[in-house]
Structure 1
Amino acid sequence: MKPGLRLQGDAAVSSPKLRETASGDPVDVAVGRRLRALRQGRGLSLEKVAARTGLSIGFVSQVERGLSSPSLRVLALLADTLETGIGGLFEPGGTDRDPIVVSERDRPELRLWRAGITKQLLTPVSGTRGLSLFRTVLEPGASTGADLFTHDGEEAGLVLEGRLTLVVETRTLHLAEGDGFRFASRRPHRFGNPSARARAVVLWVNAICANADA
């Protein structure tokens, strides 16, 4: 496992949280295909990825085949291991080699249906490092779970609609519409929508510097 990279709860191979529900969802299939391409492009075997993440070989294989819908914590762990960010898990689209604009109708979408979280990528898919801007929608009661997690980079955001509960280390922060935030992603964190009735919409930024591992 990379120095400083931690994932609580889902990281244990024997954890019942790794018994993901069989999916076959088109979004899960697309994400799995992208993960496989990134892994193979870096010359890593399933065994090496499993060893570095603490996940089982079988589970990583199921995620790559779109048979399991991973949590955001697992996706962050895999993204770090494959030296990319969450934005790098979206498949590049179109033929433009230097994309600058993403139209609303062409936004790639990552639907974490088990968690009730949907992330739309608002910026073009680029390299493994850089800045990604998301429109993140949390359905009523949606969350990343009870476990804190960490990953490379830095993140910031603005609550556009509803409310957001953000936990960073030992601090529990309650944000309302119009509130913004920023923190280093290496600080253990989690987040969720505390409302049982209304969704939350957050403009979310993830940034990974080119020299993040230096």
Structure 2
Amino acid sequence: MTDQQHQDIYPSMTISTDQQTQKIAPIKLGERLKEIRTSLGLTLEEASQKTGLARSTLSKIENEQISPTFQAMQKLTNGLQINIPQLFAAPKQVNTTGRRDITRKEEGKAHPTSTYEHELLATQLTNKKMMPFKSLIRARDFDAYADWIRHDGEEFLLVLSGELTFFSEYYEPVNLSEGDSVYYDANMGHMLISVSEEDASIIWVTAS
């Protein structure tokens, strides 16, 4: 998309005052949608399942390649359980460098999926560069996934208990046990299954 096309879709607004004319940056719905999705700990595939919008459509919206129709926005708000004004809210600006967020044991925000049971951590902080969460790996078979999981950013996982198999698009599957870890590019297809008697438990950190 050219700069001119971007301006045509998202025109800037100006506010005139007695002293100065202040320019307000255009609202970027794609950027805002991605911020909401990542704050909920959702991959593009998971967001697609919740909203009924194709993964490719969500990716194009987030990358400002297309503008969502009103019908698409309704699907987004219903599937992500947010309201339309939240899509148009400007990202919160954080000016302090002294933030912190403590999450007590088992007090994270639960977010179960068909393959994982996530516990989102540090949910009080917005505009984070990292998204930490604990997960139980419920999936027991490669076929539990409709497709590879892919999303932007980099990811680190550390096995807390149990044993799992880490599948990735360009490498042979590898088994990981308690204390083992892996760091990888999240846009490379990946998925996990538990192979121990109990569901494997991991700490997961996604960085943008």
**TM-score with structure 2 setting the length:** 0.52
Q: Which amino acid aligns with 2:138?
A: E
Q: In the TM superposition, what whole-angstrom CA distance separates every residue of 1:95-137 from its partner, at most 9, and x where no partner exists?
A: xx9443122253212111xx14111123344233411221111
CA distance in 2, matches of 1:184, 1:147: 17
How many residues get paired? 142
Structure 2 unmatched runs, 5+: 1-29, 32-42, 53-60, 83-90, 92-97
CA distance in 2, matches of 1:160, 1:207: 20
The 1:59/1:167 distance shift into structure 2, 3 A limit, reads farther
Structure 1 unmatched runs, 5+: 12-16, 21-38, 67-83, 85-96, 209-214
- Give the fraction of aligned pairs with identical amino acids, expressed as a percent: 20
Higher Rg:
2
Higher relative contact order (CA 8 A, sep 6+): 1
The 1:192/1:59 distance shift into structure 2, 3 A limit, reads farther
* Structure 2 counterparts to residues 37-76 of structure 1, below 5 A: 48-49=67-68, 59-65=75-81
* Structure 2 counterparts to residues 97-136 of structure 1, below 5 A: 98-112=99-113, 115-136=114-135
| Map of 1:180 onto structure 2 | 181
Q: Which amino acid aligns with 1:161?
A: S
CA distance in 2, matches of 1:119, 1:142: 18
* Structure 2 counterparts to residues 124-203 of structure 1, below 5 A: 124-139=123-138, 141=140, 145-171=145-171, 172-195=173-196, 197-203=197-203
The 1:142/1:201 distance shift into structure 2, 3 A limit, reads farther
Q: Which amino acid aligns with 2:110?
A: E
**TM-score with structure 1 setting the length:** 0.50
The 1:105/1:198 distance shift into structure 2, 3 A limit, reads closer
Indicate the RMSD between aligned Cα atoms, in angstroms: 4.2
